[in-house]
Structure 1
Amino acid sequence: MSNTMTHLRAPAVAGAFYPADPATLDRVVAECVAGAGIGPVPAKAIIAPHAGYVYSGPIAGTAYAAVKHLGGTVTRVVLLGPAHRWPFRGLAAPSADGLVTPLGVVPVDRAGLDVILGLPDVQILDDAFEGEHSLEVHLPFIQRTFPNASVVPLVVGHCAPQAVDAVLRRLWGGPETMIVVSSDLSHFHDYDTARALDLAASQAIEAAEPEKLSGDAACGFLPVSGLLLRAQTLDLRVTTRDLRNSGDTAGDRRRVVGYGAYTLEPADTARLTDAERRQLLDAAHNALEHVVRTGRPPEVAVESFPMALRAVRKTFVTLEIDDELRGCIGSVQAVSPLVRDVVTNTWKSATQDPRFGPLTAAELPKVAVTVSILSHNRPMAFSGEADLLRQLRPGVDGLIIQDRGHGALFLPKVWDVLPDRHPFLRHLKAKAGLDPDVETGTMRAFCFTAETFGTDET
């Protein structure tokens, strides 16, 4: 393929950020990916760091290990990273036909660039690539993870996250396209300070709250923020898969740089592993025993759980006895690690649901627990209730309604008992304290999806 290319861009940081010797580079990339210890994730996008491999390579390896099973499917990688050396406005693409690394040439997807060059914020600007490492350090990982892929390389200068979102909308594609965003986290704090700052940044990323990010939190906050806007719109679950800093890998702990690896996958099909589900349900049952005994929720050692169970999530916990509801309370905002949120909502469901008294020791052996992990709330545009009902997907969508100070939520599992759209909405309006027979024209609605599993399913 490289024989037909007339303009190639030579590597700028080979031998500095990563090995210049092909055999050594191949081995180092393979070791970073193999050492990740993560199973396959059906991700559409990843976020990974871009420092020297000795510092951030293992964390980048985690992100690529999660999607290496897609190597035979992905033929295009949209690669975005921040500008470190050349100040400019908008997003910059190269004029080159291919990007060279010690492992060979990565073809540039000129057709993909043609799709976005009409956007007002996108330009050909080779100066932005001079000495820039944020994209280049990813290329060897891309070559080995997605051997059949071309790249759409974009350096992101000063622009609104919406400009990145507009590019991603045009290039999102299907399973043939992988989105890779390059970013480190905090820079040059002491080890403990960096850990706290990077955890806060990761929680904002997981909650898809780009407004909480800044250049102090992540050097690539603009491309990350644009990707999070896509996550909100398309209902993607964001999960931290690795979170370390240079003090954990190869650096001095007095002055470190933070690194995170993240996956983004469709929330309506996202799934914890069976082992993770069991751990979460065990935590809920242990919480019930503690609550019945003490009346209080137990302390949760969050860091003793896998990364996926530490992700910031909003959850509902449903308690049933003999298939009859015994309590259901949840979170409407993602503010706590998943396992802590489940434990807290288990306690509330057992003791604070106003429809029931506190759970008793006699009831404890009969309680079945169901956990629902909720996705982002997506506002629905509709011309009336009939239009709203047409948009709802029975068995898939949860629904939140708000009208004149009233509001209520139904989880997707409510479709099990209200399988038809009209009764579903009528009962939800009644729950909110609204007249089911009156259409006000002022109602707002939000849909979401949920991963739901229970005691009898693992």
Structure 2
Amino acid sequence: MAGAFYSGDPAQLAQDVDQFLSHHERPPLSGLRALVVPHAGYIYSGDVAAAAYSCLTRGAEYKYVLLIGPSHRVGFIGMAVPEADVFDTPLGRMELASEQIGELVADGLVVYNRMAHYAEHCLEVQLPFLQRAEVHAPLLPIVVGHASPEEVGAVVLPALEDPEVLTIISTDMSHFHSYDEARKIDGQTHKRILAGAENIQPEEACGCMGLNGLQHALARSKYRIHLLQHCNSGDTSGDKSRVVGYAAYAVY
């Protein structure tokens, strides 16, 4: 997605991400288990994403980073992992957690589906933030087609319970309402998420399958979800006629 959702120039991309992160200087969040982040172009949602990534300890090492996001282009049932060994961004390569991916496939929880990952931006836009935060970990990327909270939760819960794993759920909020209507809709969705709802709908959050799976797992864990920041594209672009909502959450 280089050149579309973020700059294809390595120096410019690094500068952009660092600038977003600098807006949110804070101590690393103790006990952090998961983040919920948007996946729009950086000019629209980069600052909200940075509110989440600023919670990380710079240079942190994990067994793997579990990335879960929605399929925008390919319709399918279940959850898909890529047939690849690395992901590339202008900032360099990131290895995939091949062993853990193979285990999930063997257990029947996910399937290999190259097309589900082809040209899918929801996970790729997270990578430069992980790279500039100097997170050291292979990636376990999952694109969700149609899956129940229980199915997604079966993958998320073991990750939440392992302190050596970080989980990232990729989602935007409501789409293409007027500014005031979007604020109203997203405000209600935030209340539902914070109350533990597992039935968030696609019109409320495009990554609802992953989000509902996270909520299902949280209901069976000691961790809770906390809202860090939210806005919509009208706040960043100035066009308030037809906006997309964004939010950052942390689980700890």
User: Residue 47 of structure 1 corresponds to which residue in structure 2?
Assistant: 36
SS in 2 for 1:175: coil
RMSD after superposition:
1.4
TM, length-normalised to structure 2: 0.95
User: Residue 451 of structure 1 corresponds to which residue in structure 2?
Assistant: none
Q: CA deviation at 1:235?
A: 2.4
Q: Does 1:220 align with 2:215?
A: no
User: Residue 110 of structure 2 corresponds to which residue in structure 1?
Assistant: 122
Question: Are the counterparts in 1 of residues 82 and 117 from structure 2 also a CA contact under 8 Å?
Answer: yes
Q: 1:168 aligns with which of 152, 156, 174?
A: 156
Distance 2:170 2:136 in 1: 20
User: Residue 145 of structure 2 corresponds to which residue in structure 1?
Assistant: 157
Distance 1:172 1:233 in 2: 10
Q: 1:133 aligns with which of 115, 118, 121?
A: 121
User: Residue 45 of structure 2 corresponds to which residue in structure 1?
Assistant: 56
Q: 1:18 to 1:245 in 2, by over 3 A?
A: same
SS in 1 for 2:213: helix
Q: What pairs with 1:338-353 in structure 2 (closer than 5 Å)?
A: none
Q: CA deviation at 1:148?
A: 1.3
SS in 2 for 1:66: coil
Question: Are the counterparts in 2 of residues 74 and 146 from structure 1 also a CA contact under 8 Å?
Answer: no
Q: CA deviation at 1:183?
A: 0.2
Distance 1:264 1:77 in 2: 14
Q: What pairs with 1:417-432 in structure 2 (closer than 5 Å)?
A: none
Q: CA deviation at 1:39?
A: 4.0
Amino acid at match of 1:247: G
User: Residue 219 of structure 2 corresponds to which residue in structure 1?
Assistant: 232
Q: Does 1:87 align with 2:75?
A: yes
Distance 2:17 2:162 in 1: 27
Question: Are the counterparts in 1 of residues 44 and 233 from structure 2 also a CA contact under 8 Å?
Answer: yes
User: Residue 19 of structure 1 corresponds to which residue in structure 2?
Assistant: 7
Post-superposition Cα deviations, 1:409-449, rounded to whole Å, max 9, x if no partner, equal xxxxxxxxxxxxxxxxxxxxxxxxxxxxxxxxxxxxxxxxx
Q: CA deviation at 1:105?
A: 0.5
SS in 2 for 1:208: coil
- Computing the radius of gyration from Cα coordinates, the structure with the larger value is 1
Post-superposition Cα deviations, 1:124-167, rounded to whole Å, max 9, x if no partner, equal 00000111100000011111224311100000111111111111
Distance 1:163 1:174 in 2: 18
Q: Does 1:264 align with 2:251?
A: yes
User: Residue 65 of structure 1 corresponds to which residue in structure 2?
Assistant: 54
Amino acid at match of 1:228: Q
Post-superposition Cα deviations, 1:66-87, rounded to whole Å, max 9, x if no partner, equal 12x2632334210000000011
Q: 2:236 aligns with which of 249, 258, 283?
A: 249
Identity of aligned residues (%): 39
Amino acid at match of 2:105: L
Q: Does 1:107 align with 2:95?
A: yes
Q: 2:171 aligns with which of 183, 199, 207?
A: 183
Post-superposition Cα deviations, 1:22-76, rounded to whole Å, max 9, x if no partner, equal 0000111111111125443221000000000000000000000012x26323342
Q: 1:78 aligns with which of 66, 85, 103?
A: 66
Amino acid at match of 1:181: I
Distance 2:12 2:76 in 1: 35
Q: 1:73 to 1:173 in 2, by over 3 A?
A: farther
Amino acid at match of 2:211: V
Distance 1:94 1:66 in 2: 28
Q: CA deviation at 1:206?
A: 1.2
Distance 1:255 1:57 in 2: 19
Q: What pairs with 1:370-381 in structure 2 (closer than 5 Å)?
A: none
Q: 1:26 to 1:70 in 2, by over 3 A?
A: closer
Distance 1:256 1:187 in 2: 6
Amino acid at match of 1:197: I
Distance 1:163 1:55 in 2: 31
User: Residue 197 of structure 2 corresponds to which residue in structure 1?
Assistant: 209
User: Residue 346 of structure 1 corresponds to which residue in structure 2?
Assistant: none
Gaps of 5+ in 1: 1-12, 266-458
Amino acid at match of 1:220: G
Distance 1:75 1:144 in 2: 18
Distance 2:178 2:26 in 1: 28
Question: Are the counterparts in 1 of residues 58 and 135 from structure 2 also a CA contact under 8 Å?
Answer: no
SS in 2 for 1:233: coil
Distance 1:16 1:86 in 2: 20
